[in-house]
Structures are given as C-alpha cells and as structure tokens.
Amino acid sequence: MIGAIIVVFNPEHSMVERLLTRVYGQVEQVIIIDNSPHENSFNSIIEHYEYIHFPDNVGIAAAHNHGLATLLASGFEYGLLLDQDSLIPEDMVFRLSSLLVASKAMTQNIAAIGPSIKCSFNNRSIRAKYQKDIFDYDELVGANQIIASGMLIDLGYLDEIGYKDESLFIDGVDHEWCWRARSKGLVIARAKKVEMVHRLGDSRSKFIGVTYRVGSPIRLYYQFRNILILIRRPYVPFYWKVRCLGLMPFKFLLNSIMQNDKKERCSYMLKGIVDGVKGNKYCHDEHWNPKKVG
C-alpha cells in the first residue's frame, strides 16, 4: 500500500486543489499536514483524507516524520512525500512504485526514488551541475540526493536509516536524509522518464545576467545555519561542503544589496551564521524570538 504525505503552509488553494486532484486516485491514503497558523479545509476537493494541524509550524522534517510514522503504523509499504507547489503526472505513483518493486526483484537496495524535476519558473528540466550520476541503468539513475517532493520512500528502510533530522527544520532536510541513507549502503534513485513540475524557490532575480533563486528572509537563516551544521558531518559529500561554503559570501552580498528587505535579510543571515558556528539546532523563534513561541 502507498500513502501520500502532503505538507502545506499558508497554501494557495488553487495550487493544492490541482495537486490533490492528481494524487487522490493514485494512493490508498492521503495525509495533509498543515504548518499554517490557521486551519485549512480541503473537503471541497477530496472527501477522505487525514488532516493534522501544527499551528506553531514544526518544520518540514517533523511534518514528514509524523506522516511517515503514521503510515508505517498503519501497515503501509511506501510513503510519497509532496509539497503544495508540485504538479505530478497522473501515473507518477504507479511508475515510481513499479520501478521500486522491480528493483527489489533485482536485489537493489533502493531506499527512495523520485521523478526528474522540471522547474515551473522556466519550464526547464533540472540537472545536477556539480556531480556525476552514480549509475545510469535503463530507466533509473543513481543520485547522491533527490528533493523531498515526489520522493517515494520504502518504509521498510526507516529503521536502518532513521527519520528526517528535525533539528534542520527545513533547508537541507531532504539532502541530509539521502546522504545518510547512502552512507549505510543504500541507493537513492531518480526515474529518467518520469517528470514532475515543481516550484524551486519563491521567485527569481538577476545579477549581471545571472538568474538566481530568491527565498523568504527566514529561509536564509536556515540555509546559512544548516550549511555550517552539515559541513561537520562525515557522510555529507565533500563537493557540497566546498560549493556551499564558497557561495555563502556571494549569497550574503546578493541578499544584502539586491533585495528590497535588505536589513531583514542581513539580520536573518547573521543569526544563521552565529547559530551555525555554535552548532545550535533549535528553531529560529525558539532562540531569537522566545515570546512568539511562548
């Protein structure tokens, strides 16, 4: 059995409606985990789903873990993770699960498989620029990591790998889990012929002809902090450590001079650097805005 876990945060209902319409007939159970301050109803879209509300926003990792644990306790074999800003093909779940089942017959230890990604901003397929595929066989490509949305996880491997790292909260969560799985000898794969449209980042900006992703200011805190936390871990790929550390000064500069909310962005980035150097793993508000948490 396959269950879908959809994590939403202040959702655009038209976007979620589009996703739910596609996924509803492809899985046996839909779990919607809502990190929004206020409850949202999706009864007008689908009738049967499990709704879990975390008004204080527990983060993407904790939301995933809650959904995965729920599916595992209910006897499901596979869990499909989805973000609210993804659009999946009508046969994606069948095709991904078929590849997973076929890999078991070939004794390949695939812990998770995901589709190829097409960015909704430019309608271009996303390809890794700084790393080579681990293997390329028929319809599968071995990858160092895949994004969380569209990731179909074999729940039988959770005891071996562990759940998502909730201390990371949001950024780097999917990559870290994939790297941890690979450190245990398991395989992360991407389906070459299955493509999903996904929105990467909140918007786009240009600087001297180069287009780059722009996220919310709070995301900068987690991006900077989590880079400095993850570079200490031995199973994190060396290329990722070098690339992310090398790009940090440029990212800081671009967000300091190119965006309208410069002061706010600088504040979040500096706090992320401080907490990253110290190795602090609590969420932003827990440390920097405790009144909001309380």
What residue spans define the domains of the chain? 2-198, 203-293
In single-letter form, the type of residue at position 269 comes to M
The phi, psi pair for 235, rounded to 5°, reads -85, -5
Q: What is the pLDDT along the chain (294 residues), one digit of tens a residue?
A: 999 999 999 998 888 999 999 999 999 999 999 999 999 999 888 889 999 999 999 999 999 999 999 999 999 999 999 998 899 999 999 999 999 988 877 768 999 999 999 877 666 676 666 567 777 888 899 999 999 999 999 999 999 999 999 999 999 999 999 999 999 999 999 999 999 998 765 555 655 555 667 778 999 999 999 999 999 999 999 999 999 999 999 999 988 888 788 899 999 999 999 999 999 887 887 667 766 554
Rounded distance between C-alpha atoms, residue 5 and residue 198, angstroms: 16
- Chain Cα centroid distance, residue 273: 22
The phi, psi pair for 45, rounded to 5°, reads -100, -55
The pTM of the full predicted model, rounded to 2 decimals, is 0.91
Rounded distance between C-alpha atoms, residue 189 and residue 138, angstroms: 12
Q: Which tokens hold the place of 273?
A: 């650097």
The phi, psi pair for 7, rounded to 5°, reads -100, 130
**Which residues are registered as beta bridge partners of 33?**
7, 52
Which residues make Cβ contacts (< 8 Å) with residue 201, sequence separation at least 6? 121, 213, 214, 215
- pLDDT of the residue at 203: 54
**Do β-strands 2-8 and 29-34 pair in parallel, antiparallel, or remain unpaired?**
parallel
- pLDDT of the residue at 205: 62
What CATH number has the domain spanning 2-198?
A: 3.90.550.10
Rounded distance between C-alpha atoms, residue 24 and residue 113, angstroms: 20
